[in-house]
Structure 1
Amino acid sequence: MKTIRASLIGFGAVGQGVAKVLLAKKDYLQSIGIDLRIVAIADSRTAVIDSEGVNLAAVLDSKKKKGVVGSEKISGTDIIKTIDHELVIETTPTNIDDGGVGLTNMLAAFEKGMDVVTSNKGPLALKYGELIETANRSGSKLKFEATVGGAMPVINLACDTLAGNKILSMEGIFNGTCNYILSRMVEEHASYEQMLAEAQELGIAEADPIYDVEGIDTASKLVIVANVIFGMNASYRDVTVTGITRITPEALLLANRDGYAIKLIGEVNDGKINVAPKLVPLDNPLAVGGTLNVFSVQTDISGPITITGRGAGSIETASAILSDIISLYKN
């Protein structure tokens, strides 16, 4: 049995999802030889530390009832620097301007030779090359399946399952919020503003949805995919981005009558990265509805391969984090 001591930095929706998944899968992890102990958890205000492993159920209860994880006044970065452990699970919010605290946490972990599993898109969308180089230099591993497709295994599909294939191009829907809004606008013959409000009421859209609806979230994910799959060493600033805020119900209905849907499509083709609303035939695999995401690649050997799944949600994203942890330590 391999004992892995880990910190969980960031305890919002995704961090709490990770805690719930680890509780549910504790016996399974041990059955494959992984004794994963979370020795520290930090949110934006407090922390809890226990070298024997924190009580995840108690921390979830504290967060729900009190809004904090514990009583310790230590930052996530300081936990990484001072607490003895091997793995950092980094789930702080995405910052696309400068990478935010997530970038600081990852670099601090690599300085100590720690592995990192993350759902945080910002650092990878801005500093992918630097992070990979720093991790390699320190002998650390960096896994980030959760940054792109949630429960939809985009990176593992391209890099592992399709190993040996040359991927020629890729396209897909990478934002469930936008897809939900566009789908509902057609169903209800309603405006963007009305369906955004509905998505916010249901918790599908954030109170400030700009990252989603302006295509920023999709662009960030696309950069990560482009760098991993195509070796482009691109950053967010290399993406041409158009969001969905100007799409009218009239345009959607007209497209629908002609046999098309309008979807926010991200694509990498001929060394270019683009995010924009596009007409998609209704019988095309990309024409998924609701909050579903879809990822399609064109390969030289296998031809077109398309997968569909839930790209958002705390448990779905946590499932990708769990998969990355298992891939690091199972063998």
Structure 2
Amino acid sequence: MKRMQIGLIGCGTVGEGVARILMEQKELIKNRLGMELILKKVADTDTTKKRSVTFDKGVFTTDASEILNDPDIDVVVEMVGGTGFARKAILQALDSGKHVVTANKKLLALEGNTLFAKAARNSVTIAYEASVGGCMPVIKTLRENLVANHISAMTGILNGTCNYILSEITRLGLSFDEALSQAQQKGFAEADPTLDIEGFDAAHKLAIISAIAYGMEIDFEGVYVEGISRIEPLDILYADQFGYRIKLLAISKNHEDAIEARVHPAMIPVDSLLSQVGGSVNALSIFGDCTGEMMLYGHGAGMMPTASAVVADLADIARDIKREDGGRLPALGYPASNIRRIPVLPISEIRTHYYFRISAADQPGVLSKVSGVLARYNISIMSVHQKERHASDAVPLVFMTHKAKEADVRQALAEIRALPEIGSDPVLIRIEDPGTNGRDESQNKTGQPSASCL
């Protein structure tokens, strides 16, 4: 029976899970593949951590070069993360003719084009299923299962930390800081949660899957990114009254000559499938011309779900080695010669519905001033709500709009903020309906324009 020898660099949370699966499920994997996967070496600098696996003598090392320089190791599993040492290790592995498995979405989003090209030149594979969606087979679905489909759009919840925070604000009425603290206590958020709550983690993933879906180069710099730190319980309350939930969405739409790629908080109808995705779970809705809408759902992070995806990549590489036909599947699903440069639309060019919350002085004529500004920028109001003032003299004015151009919205809000009656920066949340797949809608959810105000 053939054997594939594996070197694991990084034995933190996910790395430990990979080692557990390879050791505990050894017989199951061997029976399914007809090939034995051998964990030959594990490298990590932390020798004090208590792990749930016990390695045989000589397997664990603190020196990753023992893996990278070992000619008998076929595959390097990189579980270090980041763009420093991980990049160097992957490049050295590729230059040594070793296949690589990684979950490093940040590195792939920033340098995937270069790394994939090097892998192709060296006739080895970079497998990265675990980089997007944890145990959800997002990469495999886009590259293989939907190969006959023209993908028109993708909308997803791709960060469990943000989804947990927004779910808890919705469920319990917590403040953002309270929900974040709770997420950190439960292990759903890092001590420094910036990458998650500011939207960058989801943007890394969106850049990768947009490239696969549309046959384009990875373009992380083109992705518009906005986080959830400005979302308040008041916005959650208004969203609920209007029949929406607020989620951090990763949105990608194919306009043929350009694409939209954006990550930001958005209101989505309560009856949509994505609005029901709570806690730290991820989901991705994909629109194919043959399949229609389909949705993947599952744990986007965590030791065993992510490790399961890593081992699935190892299994694919093992099957290629067994058949001696490695490189069966191009890294981004298209031959390199068919990968195009497709421009990403700037956020200023998108058109969608909007929610504005404006803190205004409780004075006659303020509403007419604000409405006048919106009208000058061709922003049509669908509804406006005014609540009674609370502790301060300011009252919240809430507007829901028909579709408008982002550039016009930004200019209008800047002019509104300059009015002497406005007390703070307006809150803007875009409104999306994943089920419409980008179709234009000129009416609200009930089919008629509404006005509930004053």
Contact kept? 2:17, 2:303, Cα under 8 Å: yes
The alignment status of 1:39 with 2:49, answered yes or no, reads no
Write the distance in 2 (CA, Å) between the matches of 1:251 and 1:157.
Answer: 35
RMSD: 2.1
The alignment status of 1:268 with 2:252, answered yes or no, reads yes
Contact kept? 1:77, 1:108, Cα under 8 Å: no
Contact kept? 1:127, 1:235, Cα under 8 Å: no
Asked which structure has the greater CA Rg, the reply is 2
1:60-92 CA-to-partner distances (Å, cap 9, x unmatched) read 9x9xxxxxx95x442x25531345310011111
Residue 59 of structure 1 deviates from its aligned partner by: 3.9
Write the distance in 2 (CA, Å) between the matches of 1:129 and 1:301.
Answer: 29
Match in the other structure for 2:25: 25
Match in the other structure for 1:328: 317
Give the secondary-structure state (helix, strand or coil) at the position aligned to 2:38. Answer: strand
The alignment status of 1:300 with 2:301, answered yes or no, reads no
Instruction: Structure 1: give runs of 5+ residues left out of the alignment.
Output: 48-54, 63-68
Residue 115 of structure 1 deviates from its aligned partner by: 0.7
Residue 56 of structure 1 deviates from its aligned partner by: 8.7
The alignment status of 1:7 with 2:7, answered yes or no, reads yes
Residue 182 of structure 1 deviates from its aligned partner by: 0.1
The alignment status of 1:58 with 2:46, answered yes or no, reads no
Give the secondary-structure state (helix, strand or coil) at the position aligned to 2:144. Answer: helix
Contact kept? 1:226, 1:232, Cα under 8 Å: yes
Write the distance in 1 (CA, Å) between the matches of 2:102 and 2:35.
Answer: 19
Write the distance in 1 (CA, Å) between the matches of 2:107 and 2:166.
Answer: 29
Contact kept? 2:16, 2:52, Cα under 8 Å: no
1:153 maps to which of 132, 137, 141: 137
Q: Normalised by the size of structure 1, how large is the TM-score?
A: 0.89
Instruction: List aligned pairs for 1:177-192, cutoff 5 A.
Output: 177-192=161-176
Contact kept? 1:294, 1:308, Cα under 8 Å: yes
Instruction: List aligned pairs for 1:1-331, cutoff 5 A.
Output: 1-32=1-32, 33-45=34-46, 57-59=53-55, 70=60, 72-74=61-63, 76-77=64-65, 79-82=67-70, 84-93=72-81, 95=82, 99-269=83-253, 270=255, 271-287=259-275, 288-330=277-319
Give the secondary-structure state (helix, strand or coil) at the position aligned to 2:274. Answer: coil
Match in the other structure for 1:51: none
Give the secondary-structure state (helix, strand or coil) at the position aligned to 1:18. Answer: helix
Write the distance in 2 (CA, Å) between the matches of 1:295 and 1:113.
Answer: 34
Contact kept? 1:19, 1:56, Cα under 8 Å: no
What is the number of equivalent residue pairs in this alignment?
A: 311
Residue 145 of structure 1 deviates from its aligned partner by: 0.5
Contact kept? 1:100, 1:122, Cα under 8 Å: no
Q: Counterpart of 1:273 in structure 2: which amino acid? A: A
Write the distance in 1 (CA, Å) between the matches of 2:307 and 2:39.
Answer: 15
Give the secondary-structure state (helix, strand or coil) at the position aligned to 2:301. Answer: coil
Runs of 4+ in 1 over 6 A off after TM superposition: none
Contact kept? 2:45, 2:62, Cα under 8 Å: no
Q: Normalised by the size of structure 2, how large is the TM-score?
A: 0.66
Indicate the percent of aligned positions where both proteins have the same amino acid. Answer: 38
Write the distance in 2 (CA, Å) between the matches of 1:307 and 1:57.
Answer: 31
Instruction: Structure 2: give runs of 5+ residues left out of the alignment.
Output: 323-454
Residue 301 of structure 1 deviates from its aligned partner by: 1.1
Residue 46 of structure 1 deviates from its aligned partner by: 6.1
Q: Counterpart of 2:53 in structure 1: which amino acid? A: A
Which is richer in helix? 1
Contact kept? 2:67, 2:73, Cα under 8 Å: no
Contact kept? 1:77, 1:104, Cα under 8 Å: no
Write the distance in 1 (CA, Å) between the matches of 2:98 and 2:148.
Answer: 30
Call closer, same or farther: CA 1:248–1:37 in 2, change over 3 Å.
Answer: same
Contact kept? 1:121, 1:147, Cα under 8 Å: yes
